[in-house]
Amino acid sequence: MFKKLFQNKSVVKTIRNIGILLLILLVVSNIVRLMLPFYWGDATQTVKYEYYEKHKEQYNAVYIGGSLEYRHINPRIIDSIAQKNGLDFHSFNLGIDGHGIIQEMRDLDGLLEIENPNLKYIFFSISSEVYFFKANLHTPKWVSWQSAPTMLDALKILPSLNDPLKYRTKMGAFWISSWVENIFNIGTVPDMLKFYLDKSYLDSSYVGKNKDGHYPYDYEEYHLFMEYKWEDTLLLESRHRFEKGDPYTDTMNNQILRSFEQYKPDTKPNKAMVDLCMNAYKKCAKKGIQLIFMLPPKARTSYDLLLPVFNAMPEGTKISLADIRKYPKFYSIEYGYNFHHLNEKGANLLSEEFAKQLVPLLKSQLQIN
Amino acid sequence: MLFNSLHFLLFFPIFCYLYLTVAKKHQWKILVAGGYYFYGNFSPFFAIILFIITCNDFIAGKMMDKIQETSKKKKWLFLSMAGNLGILFTFKYLDFADNNIRELLAIFHIPWFVPEPYFNNWVVPVGVSFLTFQSLSYTIDVYKGITRAEQHFGYFASFTAFWPVMVNGPIERAKNLLPQIKEEHRFDYDRMRQGLFRIAWGFFKKVVIADRLAFYVDDLYLHYNEISGWTTILGGFFFFMQVYCDFSGYSDIALGAAKVIGIDVMENFKRPLFAKNLADIWTRWHISLSTWLTDYVFFYLGAYKASGKKVIFNVIFVLAICGLWHGANWPMVIAFTMVGVFMAIRYWWQANVLRVIKPSNSYKLFDKYFPDWMHSVVTVSLFVFCFLLFRVYTAQMMLNAQHPTAQVSWVTIAKEIYGNLFKLHTAGYFHAWMIHKGIVQFIVVVFFLIALIVIEALIGDEKIERVVLVKNKTQRWMIYIVLLICIVWFGIFNNTTFVYFQY
B427-459: pLDDT as tens digits: 988 998 888 888 999 999 999 999 999 999 999
Inter-residue contact B218 to B499 (CB < 8 Å): no
Distance of CA B129 to the CA centre of its chain: 10
Q: Which residues of B touch A11 (CB under 8 A)?
A: 187
Q: How far is B257 from chain A (nearest CA, A)?
A: 15
Q: How confident is the model at residue B183 (pLDDT cuts 50, 70, 90)?
A: very high
CB within 8 Å: A25 and B485: yes
Domain assignment present for residue B478? The answer is yes
In this structure, the answer to whether residues B181 and B200 fall within a common structural domain is: no
Task: Return the pLDDT at B503.
Answer: 47
Inter-residue contact B498 to B3 (CB < 8 Å): yes
Interface check A12 vs B, CB under 8 A = no
The residues in A 288-327 lying below 8 A from B, measured between CB atoms, are none
Nearest to B96 by CA among B380, B326, B265, B296: B326
In this structure, the answer to whether residues B219 and B162 fall within a common structural domain is: no
Domain assignment present for residue A52? The answer is yes
For B247-275, what is each residue's pLDDT tens digit? Answer: 999 999 999 999 999 999 999 999 999 99
Interface check A184 vs B, CB under 8 A = yes
Domain assignment present for residue B1? The answer is no
Give the pLDDT mean for B1-22.
90
Task: Return the pLDDT at A227.
Answer: 56
Q: What does the DSSP assignment read for A222-287?
A: HH---SSHHHHHHHHHHHHHHHTT-THHHHHHHHHHHHHHH--TTPPP-HHHHHHHHHHHHHHHHT
Residue B326 is among the residues annotated as catalytic for this protein:
yes
For B207-245, what is each residue's pLDDT tens digit? Answer: 999 999 998 999 899 899 899 999 999 999 999 999 999
State the Cα–Cα distance between residues B264 and B366, nearest whole angstrom: 43
In this structure, the answer to whether residues B164 and B30 fall within a common structural domain is: yes
Domain that holds residue A235: 36-368
From B130, B152, B187, the end of a domain falls on B187
Which listed residue (B152, B326, B425, B431) is catalytic? B326
From B168, B187, B206, the end of a domain falls on B187
Q: How far is B443 from chain A (nearest CA, A)?
A: 10
From B158, B187, B216, the end of a domain falls on B187
Nearest to B418 by CA among B386, B453, B460: B386
Q: Which residues of A touch B6 (CB under 8 A)?
A: 177
Q: How far is A65 from chain B (nearest CA, A)?
A: 28
Nearest to B270 by CA among B257, B256, B286, B255: B286
Domain assignment present for residue A16? The answer is no
Task: Return the pLDDT at A134.
Answer: 81
Nearest to A40 by CA among A30, A50, A28: A50
**Number of domains making up chain B:** 2
In this structure, the answer to whether residues B153 and B219 fall within a common structural domain is: no
Say what percent of chain B tops pLDDT 70: 97
| Residue of chain A minimizing CA distance to B492 | A187
In this structure, the answer to whether residues B146 and B250 fall within a common structural domain is: no
Respond yes or no on whether the N-terminal peptide bond of residue B117 is cis (omega within 30° of 0). Answer: yes
In this structure, the answer to whether residues B149 and B198 fall within a common structural domain is: no
Give the pLDDT mean for B395-419.
89
CB atoms within 10 A of CB A198: 15
Domain assignment present for residue A301? The answer is yes
Nearest to B312 by CA among B336, B280, B345, B355: B345
Inter-residue contact B211 to B496 (CB < 8 Å): yes
Task: Return the pLDDT at A358.
Answer: 97
**Number of domains making up chain A:** 1
In this structure, the answer to whether residues B179 and B214 fall within a common structural domain is: no
In this structure, the answer to whether residues B150 and B248 fall within a common structural domain is: no
CB atoms within 10 A of CB A250: 11
pLDDT at B351 over 90: no
Interface check A367 vs B, CB under 8 A = no
In this structure, the answer to whether residues B238 and B178 fall within a common structural domain is: no
Task: Return the pLDDT at B119.
Answer: 73
* Side-chain-side CA neighbours of residue A174 (13 Å): 20
Q: Which residues of B touch A188 (CB under 8 A)?
A: 489
Nearest to A42 by CA among A181, A173, A194: A194
Q: For chain A, which residues score pLDDT lower than 50?
A: none
Nearby residues of B64 by Cβ (< 8 Å), 6 or more positions away: B73, B76, B77, B139, B142, B143, B149
Task: Return the pLDDT at B436.
Answer: 80
Q: What is the ipTM of this complex?
A: 0.86
CB within 8 Å: A10 and B480: no
State the Cα–Cα distance between residues B486 and B491, nearest whole angstrom: 7
Q: What share of chain B is helix, strand, coil (3-state, %, to 5)?
A: 75, 0, 25
Interface check A13 vs B, CB under 8 A = yes
Domain that holds residue B148: 6-187
Nearest to A290 by CA among A153, A55, A123: A123
Longest pairwise C-alpha distance within chain B = 74
CB within 8 Å: B490 and A10: no
Q: Judging by beta carbons within 10 Å of its beta carbon (0-12, 13-18, 19+), is residue B125 exposed, middle or buried? A: buried
